[in-house]
Amino acid sequence: METTRRGFLQVSGLAVFAGLTYSLSTQTKAFASEVDPDWKLIRTEESTSVCCYCSGGCGLVISVRDGELINIEGDSDHPINEGGLCSKGASLFQLRNVIDPETREVIPNPNRVTRPLVRRAGASDWEELSWDDAIEEIARRVKDTRDATFVEKDKGVIANRCDGIASLGGAQLHSEDQYGVVKTMRGLGLVAIDNQARV
């Protein structure tokens, strides 16, 4: 059976198991053949994605093995970038993983925050806390501030507004995340809502 790489992604859409071998840098025909066991992308699953830097919307192919990120590169089928990426796009892999300069092992990027943290009043460092505690504490503070600063009527008009809280950001989130943010924040009564479009 012969199928083009393009057709392959088109058919499956979601992650596909790439036990077959084909070049990732050009659109070539996919066919079963001998596989170099040292090949970087052997036994990887692929999915398509979109770059997270400028607004170009360049396509990506992301390769994952055993649940871990192996490679990110430009999607050669994508009509906008035709496989190319800029310096930022080409380094997307490092947002999650970097090479340890000592051991040459792939390690998680140490800059990443991966646990909920809190900085208490007057403190000079973070403390770790559980998600449950973080959500409970934040919800309590939100409620206290909302209750204390809520404006039910303004100049005789129903306002149902919470003046004491502001929300900023969202231009890097998915549209579905953004709807979650707009609905919860507006739902609390916030009017001070802005994002990077105001920069």
Partner 1 sequence: MTGHYCDLSNSDVFLTIGSNNVECHPVSAKWVQKAHDKGATWIVVDPRFTRTAACADIYSPIRAGTDIAFFGGMAKYILDNDLWQKEYVRNYTNAAYLLDPGFDFDVKTGMFSGWNEQTKSYEFSTWGYQVDETIPADASPTGAFAWTTEDGVPEFTPPGNKVPKKDMSLEDPQCIFQIFKKHYERYDLDTVSAVCGISVETLELVYKTFGSTGAPDKAGTIMYALGQTQHHYGVQNTRAMGVIQLLLGNIGLAGGGLNALRGEPNVQGSTDMGLLVHNTPGYLAWPTVAKYPNLRTWLDLETSSGGFYTNKPKLFISQLKEWFGSNATLQNDYGYDWLPKLGSDNDVTTMSTFELMNTGFIKGYFLWGQNPAQSTANTKFAREAMSKLDWMVAIDIVETETASFWRAPDLDPATIDTEVFLLPAALPFEKAGTVVNSGRWLQWRYKAVEPFDQAKPDLEICDLLWKEIVKLYKDEGGANPEPILNIKWDYDIDGKIDPRAVAQALNGYVIEGKKLLTTFGDLKADGSTASAMWIYAGFYANNDAPLDPSEQKVGARGREDKGGLALFQQWSWAWPLNRRVLYNRASADVDGKPWDSSRSLVNWTGDAWDNNDVADFVASRVVDGAPTPVAPNNNAFFMNWDQIGRLMIHSLDMPVPEHYEPFESPTDNALNGRENSPMIRFADKESVKKGTREEYPIAVTTYSVVEHWQSGSQTRHCPALVEAMPHQFVEVPEKLAEERGIKNGDLCRVFNNRGSIHVHAFVTPRLHTLLINGKEVHQIGLPHHWGWASMYSTGDVVNDLAPNVGDPGSYIPEYKAFLVDIEKA
Which 155-174 positions form the footprint of partner 1 (CB under 8 A)? 155, 157-174
CB atoms within 10 A of CB 44: 23
CA 174 to chain centre: 8
Nearer to partner 1, 30 or 81 (CB): 81
Nearer to partner 1, 21 or 163 (CB): 163
**Total of chain residues touching partner 1, rule CB under 8 A:** 126
Minimal distance in Å, beta carbon 66 to partner 1?
A: 10
Residues 6 or more apart whose Cβ sits within 8 Å of residue 104: none
Is the separation of the CB atoms in 127 and 117 below 8 Å?
A: yes
Nearer to partner 1, 35 or 139 (CB): 139
- The residue to which tokens 């994952």 are assigned: 64
Is the separation of the CB atoms in 62 and 85 below 8 Å?
A: no
Q: Which stretch binds partner 1 (CB under 8 A): 18-26, 32-40, 183-191?
A: 183-191
Tokens standing for 196?
A: 């990077």
Contact with partner 1 (CB under 8 A) among 17, 31, 52, 107: 52
Binders of partner 1 among 88-147, rule CB under 8 A?
88, 90-92, 94-96, 98, 108-124, 126, 131, 134-143, 145-147
Is the separation of the CB atoms in 187 and 160 below 8 Å?
A: no
CA 159 to chain centre: 35
> By CB under 8 A, is residue 196 in contact with partner 1?
yes
Contact with partner 1 (CB under 8 A) among 5, 58, 73, 76: 58
